[in-house]
Amino acid sequence: MADLYFSFFTLFIILPLTLLAFLYFIVRPRPIRIPIKNRHVFITRESSGIGLALAHRAAAEGARVSILSRSLNKLEKARNAVKLATGMEVAVFEAEVRDYDAVKRAVDEAGHIDVLILSHGVFPALEFEKIELDEVKYTMDVNVIGCFNLIKAVLPAMKNRKDPLPASIAFVSSQAGQVLLEIKLINVH
């Protein structure tokens, strides 16, 4: 009887755990560090928050940084802040992400882009039942159509690059809208 329990334990517990451990070491994701020095990083909505922090980091690591926002005043402040902190020049492009033609002009003027970071986004800071349809449409236009416009403008040149390093497109978001929504939902109960 003890042999039966030992066989059961070995077959259904030890063997699967050993196999899982073995597979973990074979197929686990391995981080890859792709250098961005001398590569062109194009960041949207860099004028504050995550986008500005990414612009600082990319410039500090030696990337050629371009930033896009709809406010020229905020762009200039961001450019000066990055230059003061890193000593690196930053190209600025004023465009509304909802306007494909304006985005396309900015992308064409910026030149080839190796890394596109989409960090723009808006959300209505209201309780759900107080949000108007036009605010939802604006949010979708900025958050979804804006990303589509930028990717559509950048992707053809990215696909035809000669650089052996991979091109990248990153979507960046914050928890600000989710936290507000969660607070409002908690107050409903």
Sign of CA dihedral 112, 114, 55, 139: positive
Question: What is the C-alpha separation between 109 and 93, in angstroms, rounded?
Answer: 9
Q: Which residues of 173-184 are buried (b: 16+ CB within 10 A; e: fewer)?
A: eeeebeeeeeee
pLDDT at position 93: 95
pLDDT at position 184: 46
pLDDT at position 175: 64
Q: Has domain 40-188 been given CATH number 3.90.950.10?
A: no
pTM value is 0.76
**Domain regions of the chain by residue span:** 1-30, 40-188
64 and 38 Cβ atoms separated by less than 8 Å: yes
Question: What is the C-alpha separation between 142 and 96, in angstroms, rounded?
Answer: 9
Three-class SS of 142-176: HHHHHHHHHHHHHHHHHHCCCCCCCCEEEECCCCH
Q: Please, what are the averages of pLDDT over each run of 10 residues along the chain (189 residues)? A: 65 77 79 84 81 92 94 91 93 95 96 92 80 88 92 93 85 65 47
User: In DSSP terms, which residues pair with 157 in a beta bridge?
Assistant: none
pLDDT at position 165: 81
User: In DSSP terms, which residues pair with 43 in a beta bridge?
Assistant: 67, 117
pLDDT at position 101: 97
